[in-house]
Amino acid sequence: MAARSCGAGLVVAILSFGIAAACVARTLDVPGGYASIAAAIDVAVAGDEIVVAPGTYAENLVVATGVTVRGGGPDRASTTLQSANPEAPVVVVYLATGEARFENLSLVVSGSGSGMEMAGSAEGAVRVVNCAFSVGLESVGVVVLGGELIAESSLFRGPAAAVQGPVGAVGILVGLGAAAAIRNCDFAYFADAIRTSGGTGLAVNACSVGYSATGIAVRNQLSDSTTIQLASNHIYGCTTGVLLAGAVATAAIQENTILDCGSGPFRVAAGTCGGGGEAFSGILLGAANIVPQRDLLCPDEESGFWPAGFFE
């Protein structure tokens, strides 16, 4: 069990001035020092790191401080977290400030739960680095209802059945008032690999998104303050590569490659184009995108709506 340690020079407190000793962050080991991850979280404070040894852990975790939870194995497959209650999230984060970090872990989601949920009251950030999310048919990898998600170099996989229609697994869902920055991640086999429904901001950069009903879906019905930035992504084998619908302030779509998408590589809900929701409103900017299935673009150039920056 890790104890908070202080250097000898820091132990001395000048009591007359009310100056307390400062201590360094701790490393808490599971199961070596603590029998469960939850037990370590209960005593951790902001800045502490919880290192979880390889193995499978069935727990439902609640994180309310800026701690790091890191798998201690050689890769993210070594340490697996799964829900003790399949209808509840594996991890719920209530973070008023600061940043919590999850690294080198696999999260397995079944039932109607999620791998991770950032509560609507959250105002801090959650950083997910080198993690893997395995998502069931009615599940979501990460639900962002508050604060900001930063996902980096992580893998998201749903079941193949999710590709058949709009009801099914979602990789990352960004809700009203939340934000997400997603970089260098890999998604496949979802109804929507990435979906925002009123988030304040979505940035997806250098990701691989494949074999989903919709690769990236913007279905904003309530907010017109959302900004969308999609850059340098490789989107392939989806029914629809990118869908924009609803109220968006600005959507900047730059240097993406969208290949082999059946119904349309890039679809904007405007006029007769449809799109399954409210017509897109906002500024749409395109630059240096590669969309070879030009006959499937929606709407087409003749509508007067299609911007520059989309080409074969």
User: Is the link from the previous residue into 54 a cis peptide, with omega within 30 of 0?
Assistant: no
Cβ proximity of 109 and 81 under 8 Å: no
What would the DSSP string read from start to end of 76-112? TTSEEEE-SSTTS-SEEE--SSSEEEEES-EEEE-TT
Segment 77-99, tens digit of pLDDT:
999 999 999 889 999 999 988 99
Residue that the structure tokens 């209650």 belong to: 85
pLDDT, one tens digit per residue, over 299-309 is 555 554 556 67
User: What residue type is 174 in one-letter code?
Assistant: V
pTM: 0.89
Mean pLDDT, rounded, of the chain:
84
Q: What percent of the chain has pLDDT over 70?
A: 80
> Domain spans of the chain?
25-141+153-157, 160-312
Interatomic CA distance for residues 200 and 180, integer angstroms:
9
Q: Which residues of the chain are modeled with pLDDT < 50?
A: 5-22, 271-272, 274-275, 304
